[in-house]
Structure 1
């Protein structure tokens, strides 16, 4: 009997998408109010500031793509829950492809704990990989802002040195000296503008992209948590116990057979045609036959016990499904 596929569904990530849209609208409204100041800061170093805005635009697109890429996965999962079959769920998923393959091959609709951990690890790795680029771009914006700061400060220091070297208090009047000083200070002030404008754009872009990445991470975490909760409800714990017991039994039997065969070969080499050796070999053969019979009996008892446990598990699951339907109907 397949587990119930109705009831719990995955939440849509669009709530985080609209939160990101609203945040960008507020950021754009703030930029529109401060357009004159922002334009003046941008002109101070248009090349580096343009690069910062370009990196910000790429990061924004990637952050939105992380959220929107969850939509087809959620849609496929909810369709599978409603239809109860992977063939009727529609378009094949990308991130949930391992889960679809296991569900399609499982006749009972239940998965083992090993398969559960494998699916969750695969999905977690894919979610982390999708966010690596966005995290890198957030740090890159800070780096570009600091790069512009040091660039502007280096230009400022060089310009101040040139101004000091050009001053000659012993010649000319005071008014001429002040006019020359005022004209010479334009270059250092331009360098300071370059330094502070790139820091402004870099840190602002990092703030915007960091918030968008945070929302994308929250959407992915909710998707992962809800999927983990559902997979835990359809996990068959007893399916991992049976193979382990059979494997241990097979390993123990193999060791016993190996010891018996070695003993038989040693007697054959030592005794040759001796009657005692022949009697010992016959006794060993009877012992091996008895061991085989006992092993078959134990394996049959183990199979009967496993089938009984599975029937009890199915009965308990049917009871829980009925209770869930009754609670949902109320």
Structure 2
């Protein structure tokens, strides 16, 4: 979708141009502002608030566009409290990630809600444009009323009979200060009010274009996600599909969506179970290798015992019953070592059998769980 950044750049460039022109005309603008600082300050304050409101309208589109782009890409998104325009759409979609299917009535309802929210924000910005024009005209009429009243007073007090002409001229000059001040108020407020409304009008135009682009692209995308219902005429005749059949069809579509999600979760569970079974098979293969190695070791130990038995018999024959204590001690130690080795081998064999039993139990539970998921 179109990002609101380019509209913000246009607005910022326009404000920079306005600021440059104001800097060039700064002496004249300052003199006009001092004609009535109170009213002109009010106009400038309203102007700044209007600028902030227009920028806010465009900035509020950014989270809406980001949420919609994330939803369209299938990324996990939440309804969130930041959404203002798409809040009803986020609530209506819920968890239908990537599987949205709207009816024509639902599409119209969502678009009407978004259009109403956009119009509400535009009305506030347009109010500030009209307020600047009103304040400018108010200052103009106020200054003109002061001018007319002051001119009337000057004319009434003007007298040239039997006096000094220079004194009468000075009196006329002092009397014209009030009308000139009123004219300054009238023209300065008109200047600031109309210029401010012109600037705010352009900013409101850019904000409106950003909102219209967002609304148009959203409408085009939602139109592609809409399924046409049976509310139109049937092949022959003017009859329409009854409302309960339309509701039944929509409920069936929702049920199919739910079934699709259940099948997707079942497929994910099956893949995970297959991975666990493969891991268990690898463990069983490793245990089988260990068992083969231990069996080979036991065979070698048995062969060693068989080889040692004739040697011991020959030693006993040679000694003729006169075996010394050292030989007896060595023979006893060998006997104990062989007995301990046999016990350790037997214990390791039992532990291996117990571990195999536990692994087979885990495999049986896993296969039973897979069978239950397949039945459901």
Normalization by structure 2: what TM-score? Answer: 0.60
Q: Give 1:84 deviation, angstroms.
A: 5.6
- Worse-matched range after superposition: 231-240 or 25-34: 231-240
Map 1:301-316 onto structure 2 (within 5 A).
none
* Unmatched 5+ stretches in structure 1: 1-9, 251-301, 311-330
Cross-structure match for 2:144: 153
CA distance in 1, matches of 2:108, 2:15: 37
Of the three residues 85, 103, 113, the one matched with 1:122 is 113
Normalization by structure 1: what TM-score? Answer: 0.68
* Unmatched 5+ stretches in structure 2: 235-239, 257-376
1:83 has 2:74 as partner: yes
Cross-structure match for 2:15: 24
User: Kindly tell me: are residues 110 and 197 of structure 1, through their superposed partners in 2, closer, same or farther at Cα, counting changes over 3 Å?
Assistant: same
Q: Give 1:177 deviation, angstroms.
A: 1.9
| Partner SS state of residue 3, structure 2 | coil
Contact 1:99 1:119 (8 Å CA) reproduced: yes
Cross-structure match for 2:306: none
User: Kindly tell me: are residues 59 and 237 of structure 1, through their superposed partners in 2, closer, same or farther at Cα, counting changes over 3 Å?
Assistant: same
Q: Give 1:160 deviation, angstroms.
A: 0.8
CA distance in 2, matches of 1:136, 1:211: 14
Of the three residues 71, 86, 90, the one matched with 1:100 is 90
Cross-structure match for 2:193: 202
Q: Give 1:105 deviation, angstroms.
A: 5.8
Contact 2:104 2:229 (8 Å CA) reproduced: no
- Worse-matched range after superposition: 144-153 or 230-239: 230-239
User: Kindly tell me: are residues 174 and 230 of structure 1, through their superposed partners in 2, closer, same or farther at Cα, counting changes over 3 Å?
Assistant: same
Cross-structure match for 2:154: 163
User: Kindly tell me: are residues 249 and 22 of structure 1, through their superposed partners in 2, closer, same or farther at Cα, counting changes over 3 Å?
Assistant: closer
RMSD, matched Cα: 2.6
Q: Give 1:157 deviation, angstroms.
A: 1.0
User: Kindly tell me: are residues 71 and 154 of structure 1, through their superposed partners in 2, closer, same or farther at Cα, counting changes over 3 Å?
Assistant: same
Contact 1:48 1:198 (8 Å CA) reproduced: yes
- Worse-matched range after superposition: 204-213 or 104-113: 104-113
User: Kindly tell me: are residues 249 and 23 of structure 1, through their superposed partners in 2, closer, same or farther at Cα, counting changes over 3 Å?
Assistant: closer
Cross-structure match for 1:327: none
Contact 2:230 2:241 (8 Å CA) reproduced: no
1:245 has 2:241 as partner: yes
User: Kindly tell me: are residues 206 and 249 of structure 1, through their superposed partners in 2, closer, same or farther at Cα, counting changes over 3 Å?
Assistant: closer
CA distance in 2, matches of 1:141, 1:156: 22
Cross-structure match for 1:71: 62
User: Kindly tell me: are residues 91 and 184 of structure 1, through their superposed partners in 2, closer, same or farther at Cα, counting changes over 3 Å?
Assistant: closer
CA distance in 1, matches of 2:204, 2:114: 18
Larger radius of gyration: 2
Q: How many residues align?
A: 244
Cross-structure match for 1:172: 163
CA distance in 1, matches of 2:53, 2:222: 29
